[in-house]
Amino acid sequence: DIQMTQSPSSLSASVGDRVTITCRASQGISNNLAWYQQKPGTVPKLLIYAASTLQSGVPSRFSGSGSGTDFTLTISSLQPEDVATYYCQKYNSAPRTFGQGTKVEIK
Amino acid sequence: EVQLVESGGGLLQPGGSLRLSCAASGFTFSFYAMSWVRQAPGRGLEWVSTISTSDGNTYYADSVKGRFTISRDNSKKTLYLQMNSLRAEDTAVYYCAKEVVATIWGDAFDIWGQGTMVTVSS
CA–CA dist B5, B65 (Å, integer): 24
How much is the average pLDDT of A15-25? 98
B108 vs A: CB within 8 A: yes
- Partners of B100 on chain A (C-beta within 8 Å) are 46, 49, 55
Question: Which of A2-6, A102-106, B50-54, B93-97 shows the lowest mean pLDDT across its residues?
Answer: B50-54
Interface residue B52 vs chain A (CB under 8 A):
no
Q: Chain A partners of B45 at a C-beta cutoff of 8 Å?
A: 36, 38, 44, 87, 89, 98, 101
pLDDT tens digit sequence for A54-95: 999 999 999 999 999 999 999 999 999 999 999 999 999 999
Alpha carbon B25 to chain centroid distance?
A: 16
Q: Residue B118: pLDDT above 90?
A: yes
**What's the pLDDT score for residue B73?**
94
Range A11-37 average pLDDT: 98
* The dihedral formed by the CA atoms of A46, A47, A48 and A54, expressed in degrees to the nearest 10: 120
The shortest C-alpha distance from A55 to chain B (Å) reads 8
Q: Is the CB of residue A71 less than 8 Å away from at least one CB of chain B?
A: no
Give yes or no for a contact between A36 and A93, defined as CB atoms under 8 angstroms apart: no
CB contact under 8 A, B44 and A43: no
| Yes or no, beta carbons of B45 and A36 under 8 Å apart | yes
Vertex A82: Cα angle to A4 and A75 (nearest 5):
65
Average pLDDT estimate for A23-29: 97
List all residues of chain A from 2 to 31 with a beta carbon under 8 Å from chain B.
Answer: none
* B32-71 confidence digits (pLDDT tens): 999 999 999 999 999 999 999 866 799 999 999 999 999 9
* Residue B106 pLDDT class (50, 70, 90 cuts): confident
pLDDT for the residue B104: 77
Q: How confident is the model at residue B83 (pLDDT cuts 50, 70, 90)?
A: very high
Percent pLDDT > 70 in chain B is 98
Kindly report the average pLDDT of chain A as a whole number: 97
Residue B74 predicted with pLDDT over 90: yes
Q: How high does pLDDT run on average in chain B?
A: 96
Chain A residue numbers with beta carbons less than 8 Å from the beta carbon of B107 are 49, 91-92
